[in-house]
Structure 1
Amino acid sequence: MLISLVLIAPVRLAQAQDAPGEFEIIRTALVEKFRVRMQQVAEWSWEQVDFTDGIESCIDEGERKGVNAPWGRRYLVTAFNGVTYEGRISYDQTIVVACDSPEHERLMAAAAQPPAPAEAPAGDEAPAAAPLPPPVAGAAASAGFALGGHVNNMNGQTFDAMRRSGMTWLKKQYIFNVGDSPHNVAGMIETAHANGFRILLGIVGKQEQMGDYPAYINAYAEFVGGVAALGADAIEVWNEPNIDREWPADMINGATYTQLLAAAYNAIKSANPGTLVISGAPAPTGYFGAVGCGAGGCNDDVFMRQMANAGAARYMDCIGLHYNEGIIPPSRTSGDPRGEYPTYYFRSMLQRGYGLFGGKQVCFTELGYLSGEGYDTPIPGNFGWAANTTVEQHAAWLAEAATLAARSGRVRLMIIWNVDFRDFTPTDPLGGYAMIRPDNGCPACDALAVVMGR
């Protein structure tokens, strides 16, 4: 039994130059045992303890050396693979123990196995394609929960609102034209980093340039590799490729998309192993009914099953998801007046993506609630389902979603859609999703600050 005497608050994003010497000793022991990257870690904490069962009680008996210490310190270190490791050190620093980690062993075993094929419903068959390349090795920048927001402006007002909310990430989208230089996004990366944020770049191409798909894949991969080399912290490979608004209608299939994802992943990891690769989040929809796919696209669950069958899990660090049509609290699992379709509910939407890719964490690259309160323009008819959502609910539900996501252990990143968009037109209520409201107030900032510990 371990008896805690003193608990020190956790330190987040510890770097080598910040860490006290004792933490360096623990980190070195963990790296040597598990061969895991820990130059930077997501979080670490320590407590002073009495080792009443022995300092070596956390390792297999066959590995014990018979040493002991009456008391010392116990360190918990969360790496960017999502695993929390334990290290122990005696009071005089002469005994160091890197504890066994069943969680690490499960992670390594899962990574060594190809994803189990999912049962494919009608419409899941993909056109014949060349075999995918083997994935390039790279550090999967995956760890405990982080919060961010999709921004329109990279300015002081927006950054202040994000900091107030506990956000550490921002998202920008870039429309790629064949022939573009990666340096077109260098300013975004530099501005984000200069203001203390990590940046997720969603890179979306143009349908009319995709006619020669193999050549297009090469051009796109070369571009995102260049973006990674510039220091992008994360790249989302496309946006909503399951619908014809974003992808050529005659090419919509998760396996076809996976060809692009695989090439992009390898290019990104070759250029910068630490860049997080997120699969393009599909549009949540059940429009295509029981068949699953039809003219104009595929239901998101069918599209993701097609991806899983094609081996997409090997070419992502995180599965991209969207959730943007909720009208009840995210903790609710029934009772939506529109019905029980899974995309209406936060929990079922999370499971819809998480359950298909062998335990890969989810990155919500767009999660938002729509409220027209404060705008003179009525909510457009095709968004009428949100007509009764208040700003108070908008704020409370964002905070609750962040809490549920963080506690689930299944979500690496939650990007709120959106922080500061102002447009609210008769056809597109972008501003209704915004945290910063028309009067420049930000109730969501205050609600999120509470749950994020600000």
Structure 2
Amino acid sequence: MTLKLRLFLFCVFVLGLGACGEEVVVPTAVPTSTVSTPETPNGNTIFLPLASGDASTAVAPDLVPTEAAPVATTAPTITLTPTHPQYDGPTLNRNQIGVQAYLHRVDVPALAAQLNELGVGWVKAQVSWKLFQPFPDQLSEERFADLDALVAQANVSGIRVMLSVAKAPEWSRPTTELDGPPTEYTLYRDFLQLLASRYAGQVAAYELWNEPNLQREWNGVPLDAAALVELIRFGAAGVRAGDATALIISGAPAVTGINDGVTAVDDRVYFRGMLAAGVAELVDGFGVHPYGWANPPDATFANPDLAIPTHNDHPSFFFQDTLADYVALLDEFGVTEKQLWVTEFGWGSFEQFAQDPPLGAEFMNNVSEWQQATYTQQAYALAHEMPQVGPMILWNLNFAPWLGDAFSESGYSLLRPDGSPRPAYLALAALPKQ
């Protein structure tokens, strides 16, 4: 039988008719195939080799060489793109780390799973008093059901709960415009006693009011630190009547750079007024909101990052300056045994959102998702070295999936509007904690 005839029969019975032709070429190596996996959170596609199986090919005896050709067996080197910045700071105390969550009508078990994945020791929720008690003799069953579920899930996971209670109902205020305190402070006391009794032994801390140095949060009466302290006095009495073990944190002023006395009072001026009015005698810790706008956490007013184009003209725009100035005020008033509680902080970014930040939040264009993650890590490491700073509650976990990309709150979210994790989510989960 001739060689050509043997080749033809080999093609028909071994390789199949579709492979037969005038010539047969035997490869000496089989190339490795690739397939693309889904994109990583930062948009990079990773290519992984497929298993090539048996690389040998059957050939007719007359075509087998005396020495077998080598077969490629080494897979190509794969470089994986990091999903979050590396952290080289100290190991952190889990009980000093928290995050604020959006709660209304969310899947609470799924939310609890995210909190566990992040490894936080605290979860904060805002109790908008006007929504929980829309009428004097009526409580919102739906709102309380949401809160009941969160408190229960957090306690099962060993996560402490903080409730921030603000925004008086319209029926209790002198005006219905914006938000503000009640006319009668006894109403605040009664509502906090109701909360503390309902969640006795389950809610670890109550923050009494929110950013009271802003007109939008204290409308209807003049901005006044002493008036806030009086409201805290009534609120603290309500908490202690309902749960004597719960911690009481004073409402944090907002950092604004404005001190016109109408739109806002400078937060340092306001906090000094709170201390002068005796707030330290009423609370277990002091709320503070050291936002950094687009400034890195290690930048200061005296030594700013010159690449940041806005919000460099006032100390209140710098994370580190705000903490240092509040510590100095505590020292000035001889307060040594109580800490600053960072009940909100964070860096907003609109990267990968469908639209630009809303009016007033344009600075978020100067923060990438990667920087958001890096700054969060740095802030926790910086505060870890400050004994006067207690728990730090990051703002926020999940506002973007519920509010969408039209709100500034969403820029701070650890999740994107589609629910996928941002690098900051992964960075927080990866922080070393004990």
TM-score range (shorter-chain normalised) is 0.5 to 0.7
The residue aligned with 2:283 is 316
CA–CA distance in structure 1, aligned partners of residues 189 and 387 of structure 2: 31
CA–CA distance in structure 2, aligned partners of residues 371 and 267 of structure 1: 39
CA contact (8 A) 1:242 1:253 kept: yes
Q: Any idea what SS the aligned residue of 1:351 has?
A: helix
List alignment gaps of at least 5 residues for structure 1. 1-142
Deviation readout 1:20-68 (Å, 9 max, x if unpaired):
xxxxxxxxxxxxxxxxxxxxxxxxxxxxxxxxxxxxxxxxxxxxxxxxx
What's the TM-score, normalizing by structure 1? 0.62
The alpha-carbon distance between structure 1 residues 215 and 186, as it changes in their structure 2 partners (threshold 3 A), is farther
| Alignment of 1:206 onto 2:206 | no
The alpha-carbon distance between structure 1 residues 424 and 388, as it changes in their structure 2 partners (threshold 3 A), is farther
The residue aligned with 1:350 is 323
Q: Which has the larger radius of gyration?
A: 2
The residue aligned with 1:194 is 156
CA contact (8 A) 1:243 1:249 kept: no
The residue aligned with 1:335 is 304
Corresponding residue pairs, total: 307
Deviation readout 1:155-182 (Å, 9 max, x if unpaired):
3443333323320111111111463559
Quote how far apart the aligned CAs of 1:241 are: 0.9
The alpha-carbon distance between structure 1 residues 429 and 279, as it changes in their structure 2 partners (threshold 3 A), is same
Q: How does 1:68-107 map to 2 (within 5 A)?
A: none
CA contact (8 A) 1:162 1:445 kept: no
Quote how far apart the aligned CAs of 1:215 are: 6.0
| Alignment of 1:421 onto 2:399 | yes
Deviation readout 1:79-119 (Å, 9 max, x if unpaired):
xxxxxxxxxxxxxxxxxxxxxxxxxxxxxxxxxxxxxxxxx
Quote how far apart the aligned CAs of 1:151 are: 0.7
List alignment gaps of at least 5 residues for structure 2. 1-92, 176-180
Q: Any idea what SS the aligned residue of 1:250 has?
A: coil
Q: Any idea what SS the aligned residue of 2:357 has?
A: coil
The alpha-carbon distance between structure 1 residues 221 and 448, as it changes in their structure 2 partners (threshold 3 A), is same
- AA aligned to 1:210 is R
Greater fraction of residues in strand:
1
The alpha-carbon distance between structure 1 residues 300 and 192, as it changes in their structure 2 partners (threshold 3 A), is same
Range that drifts further, 202-211 or 248-257: 202-211
| Alignment of 1:228 onto 2:196 | yes
Quote how far apart the aligned CAs of 1:431 are: 1.8
The residue aligned with 1:167 is 120
CA–CA distance in structure 1, aligned partners of residues 245 and 346 of structure 2: 28
CA–CA distance in structure 1, aligned partners of residues 432 and 241 of structure 2: 34
CA–CA distance in structure 2, aligned partners of residues 278 and 196 of structure 1: 21
Identical aligned residues as a percent: 27
CA–CA distance in structure 2, aligned partners of residues 160 and 418 of structure 1: 16
1:434 to 405, 413, 420: 413
RMSD over aligned Cα atoms:
2.6
CA contact (8 A) 1:254 1:303 kept: yes
The residue aligned with 1:270 is 241
The residue aligned with 1:259 is 230
2:353 to 357, 375, 393: 375
CA contact (8 A) 2:189 2:234 kept: yes
Q: Any idea what SS the aligned residue of 1:211 has?
A: coil
What's the TM-score, normalizing by structure 2? 0.65
The residue aligned with 2:364 is 386
CA–CA distance in structure 1, aligned partners of residues 389 and 124 of structure 2: 16
CA–CA distance in structure 2, aligned partners of residues 245 and 214 of structure 1: 14
- AA aligned to 1:168 is G
CA contact (8 A) 2:249 2:283 kept: yes
CA contact (8 A) 2:404 2:417 kept: no
- AA aligned to 1:204 is A
| Alignment of 1:447 onto 2:427 | yes
CA–CA distance in structure 2, aligned partners of residues 154 and 413 of structure 1: 26
